[in-house]
Amino acid sequence: MNAQFFVYILASGRNGTLYVGVTNNLARRIAEHKARLVPGFTRQYSVDQLVYFEAFDSILEARSREHSLKRWRRAWKIKLIEGLNPDWRDLSDQLNS
């Protein structure tokens, strides 16, 4: 079974402003952030680079992980990102639309 839900971290740049979100369609949601269609924090602070994501089979698991990550210290989030994406590459080009 393919994962249907995603928790993701966006950044404004390397070690920049971070945003944690959850979605059921990662490619669409990242495209919305990049097109600045999402009002609020990410648009205000130009946070649109996908630097980390995790896939889940259940919305409950995804929301639980999102809630947990939002409560993490910034240093922990940076360590998580750099563990899988040390160059802070924008991973959005790896997504299937």
Quick one: 32 exposed, middle or buried, by C-beta within 10 A (0-12, 13-18, 19+)? middle
Per-residue tens of pLDDT for the chain, all 97 residues: 566 999 999 999 998 999 999 999 999 999 999 999 989 999 999 999 999 999 999 999 999 999 999 999 999 999 999 999 999 999 998 886 5
Domain boundaries, the chain: 5-94
Quote the CA–CA distance of 74 and 79 in Å, as a whole number: 9
Q: What is the DSSP letter of 30?
A: H
Q: Kindly report whether the global pTM for this prediction surpasses the value 0.85.
A: yes
Quote the CA–CA distance of 81 and 8 in Å, as a whole number: 10
Architecture, CATH, for domain 5-94? 3-Layer(aba) Sandwich (3.40)
Pairing of strands 18-23, 5-11: antiparallel
pLDDT at position 97: 52
Quick one: 79 exposed, middle or buried, by C-beta within 10 A (0-12, 13-18, 19+)? exposed
pLDDT at position 32: 96
